[in-house]
């Protein structure tokens, strides 16, 4: 008894028990023991990580990806806190050869299996007993672990190269090796190709992705979600506190949604290759909810316009169907989307550059909207997929080629003719840096020039403090591979300091995890690019964005967005407001 009394006194149990009883008696709570539990929970130890679990799951397009679960010791019990599913990202273009796609799928499978192994073995042991709220410490350890894995990979590659050189040295001693120089002479036709390629900067090599790197990004994001859950705050607020060094922001600005409406296949029989996506951007005057509703109205009208003439019901049949639906007291079911891409948008094709823009104008005019006032457009050009390295030109239409300088002139003419386009995404390859500079000087005060695939990966952007990207208005960042939450926080701070706008973008292989939205809000991204308003894994994120808007409005911490364009000139110029930079669309300028 004496030992027990000393034990409890040493932990101040009698004193705190008396304090609790004195504090709760005047309140006389309905659930007395519940209130006692809440009171004493303040004195319990902070939760610590006890287990990190990785498993292979499927993403929104049926590709394997990584799920990471976090378990913590909470009040002496092991408790599952949260999980996150990483989005998969492929560097293979849609017009790749079947064997290339097959090889990519095999590599992805192996990479996910390696990531699961990393999480369940090394990372599980390494992160045990750490606090999930200590994001910086966790990310530092994850970064060191990844660096170690990279060095191990380099060492293996070095050994393989040495073995290969030794094998070549042995074969060079045989008489058959004398025939090798003769083969080089037979490659004369290739000389023309190499001369043509010198006219443009060659493509930079694709950054290699270490197998298993998903484990780093997945674990970092899962830890961030666990930290928010333990702290009983939303993830976006937890991220904002990490970015602001624990200073709670008084207001939040929601990122403007870039909603993909049309996806133009580059392997379709249609001639147009330049446009990959037509994206809608609601005006800042609307709430997010109003903007999404307006986008849905445009999508319905676009579906009607894209319906083949032979499948459109006659007016008499339509009237009879409406009558039957009315008589039954039920609404007619909505028309199903016939062809929807993995991006959650309508798939179509066009034969010239103006056709999709005129189609958008028609859809908006039919429902009483005006492009440039009630809705804006962005065009994802994906120019890096169009370069013909034999000719040294971009193939913008089937059989029509333009040099990088001609591309700049074409974009200037396009924006002047259709001023409701306020953003061009990847209008050029990242290697055409001079042309990026030219287009920014020509159009920077009228629209955003955004680098998505033209931007360097986050790992390289962090290394180069000068932001190793072409001259541009902003960058689309994607949370993939070995990216950590701390990396994103650091990089967005660098971009903010250099007057670049930040766009958080979803990768091709999306999952139903909606953490990307909280990251975008917490980091203060200007835009969020989530794809279209179809497919569950896409719509889930729009629903999360709507929920955050409602929560911020209720707490009176929602600040309206204020779009500004940047004038790229030798002399610094004041930033232009959206209303000043965009003249109203001229009807007489359209063909």
Question: Annotated active-site positions, please?
Answer: 481
CB contact at 8 A, 360 and 267: no
Give the number of other Cβ atoms within 10 Å of residue 256's Cβ. Answer: 22
Give the pair of three-digit tokens for residue 497: 């300091």
Identify the three-state secondary structure at position 160: helix
- Residue 83 sits at φ, ψ, to 5 deg, of -145, 160
CB contact at 8 A, 229 and 81: yes
CB neighbour list of residue 138: distance below 8 Å, 6 or more residues apart: 127, 130, 132, 219, 220, 223
Give the pairing of strands 252-253 and 558-559: parallel
User: Rg of the chain's alpha carbons, rounded to an integer?
Assistant: 28
**CA 223, CA 226: separation in Å to the nearest integer?**
5
β-bridge partners, 71: 51, 80
CB neighbour list of residue 257: distance below 8 Å, 6 or more residues apart: 281, 282, 288, 291, 292, 295, 527, 528, 530, 542, 545
* Biggest distance spanned by C-alpha atoms of the chain: 101
β-bridge partners, 271: none
CB contact at 8 A, 301 and 363: yes
Burial class, 44, CB count within 10 angstroms (exposed 0-12 / middle 13-18 / buried 19+): exposed
Report the chain's terminal Cα–Cα distance, integer Å.
96
CA geometry: angle 48, 50, 56, nearest 5 deg: 125
**CA 81, CA 72: separation in Å to the nearest integer?**
7
Identify the three-state secondary structure at position 388: strand
CB contact at 8 A, 550 and 526: no
**CA 114, CA 146: separation in Å to the nearest integer?**
13
Structural element, H or E, at residue 137: helix 135-171
β-bridge partners, 279: 260, 378
Closest CA to 542 of 382, 345, 371, 378: 345
Give the pair of three-digit tokens for residue 554: 């209720």
Give the pairing of strands 256-264 and 564-565: unpaired
């Amino acid at each position: 008894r004496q030992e027990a009394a000393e034990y409890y006194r040493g932990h101040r149990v009698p004193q705190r028990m008396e304090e609790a009883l004195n504090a709760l008696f005047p309140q006389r709570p309905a659930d007395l023991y519940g209130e006692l539990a809440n009171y004493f929970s303040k004195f319990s130890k902070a939760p610590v990580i006890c287990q990190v679990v990785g498993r292979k799951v499927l993403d929104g397009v049926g590709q394997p990806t990584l799920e990471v679960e976090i378990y913590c010791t909470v009040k002496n019990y092991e408790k599952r806190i949260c999980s996150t599913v990483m989005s998969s990202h492929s560097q293979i273009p849609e017009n790749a050869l079947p064997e290339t796609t097959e090889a990519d799928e095999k590599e992805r499978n192996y990479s996910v299996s390696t990531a699961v192994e990393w999480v369940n073995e090394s990372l599980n042991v390494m992160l045990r007993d750490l606090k999930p709220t200590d994001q910086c410490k966790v990310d530092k350890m994850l970064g060191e672990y990844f660096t170690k894995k990279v060095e191990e990979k380099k060492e293996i590659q070095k050994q393989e190269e040495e073995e290969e050189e030794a094998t070549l040295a042995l074969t060079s001693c045989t008489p058959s090796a004398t025939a090798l120089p003769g083969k080089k002479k037979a490659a004369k036709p290739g000389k023309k190709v190499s001369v043509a390629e010198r006219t443009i900067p060659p493509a930079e090599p694709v950054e290699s992705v270490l197998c298993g790197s998903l484990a780093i990004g997945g674990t970092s994001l899962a830890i961030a979600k666990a930290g928010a859950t333990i702290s009983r705050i939303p993830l976006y607020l937890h991220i904002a506190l990490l970015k602001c060094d624990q200073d709670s922001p008084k207001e939040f600005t929601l990122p403007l949604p870039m909603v993909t409406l049309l996806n133009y296949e580059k392997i379709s029989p249609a001639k147009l290759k330049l446009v990959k996506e037509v994206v809608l951007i609601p005006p800042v005057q609307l709430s997010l909810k109003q903007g999404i509703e307006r986008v849905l109205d445009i999508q319905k009208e676009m579906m009607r316009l894209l319906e083949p003439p032979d499948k459109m019901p006659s007016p008499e049949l339509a009237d009879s169907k409406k009558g039957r639906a009315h008589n039954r007291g039920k609404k007619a079911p909505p028309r199903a989307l016939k062809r929807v891409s993995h991006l959650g948008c309508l798939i179509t094709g066009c034969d010239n550059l103006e056709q999709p823009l005129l189609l958008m104008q028609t859809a908006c005019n039919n429902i009483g909207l005006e492009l440039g006032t009630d809705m804006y457009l962005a065009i994802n050009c994906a120019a890096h997929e169009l370069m013909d390295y034999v000719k040294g030109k971009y193939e913008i239409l089937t059989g029509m080629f333009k040099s990088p300088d001609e591309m700049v002139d074409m974009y200037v003419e396009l924006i002047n003719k259709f001023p409701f386009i306020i953003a061009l995404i990847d209008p050029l390859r990242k290697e055409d840096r001079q042309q990026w500079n030219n287009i920014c000087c020509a159009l920077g005060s009228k629209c955003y020039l955004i680098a998505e695939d033209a931007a360097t990966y986050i790992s390289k952007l962090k290394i180069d403090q000068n932001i190793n990207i072409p001259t541009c208005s902003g960058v689309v960042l994607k949370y993939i591979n070995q990216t950590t939450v701390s990396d994103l926080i650091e990089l967005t701070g660098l971009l903010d300091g250099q007057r670049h706008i930040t766009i958080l973008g979803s990768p091709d292989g999306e999952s139903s995890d909606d953490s990307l939205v909280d990251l975008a809000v917490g980091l203060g991204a200007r835009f969020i690019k989530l794809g279209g308003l179809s497919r569950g894994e896409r719509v889930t994120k729009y629903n999360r964005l709507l929920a955050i808007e409602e929560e911020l409005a209720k707490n009176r911490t929602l600040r309206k967005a204020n779009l500004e364009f940047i004038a790229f000139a030798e002399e610094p110029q004041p930033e232009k407001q959206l209303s000043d930079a965009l003249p109203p669309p001229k009807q007489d300028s359209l063909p």
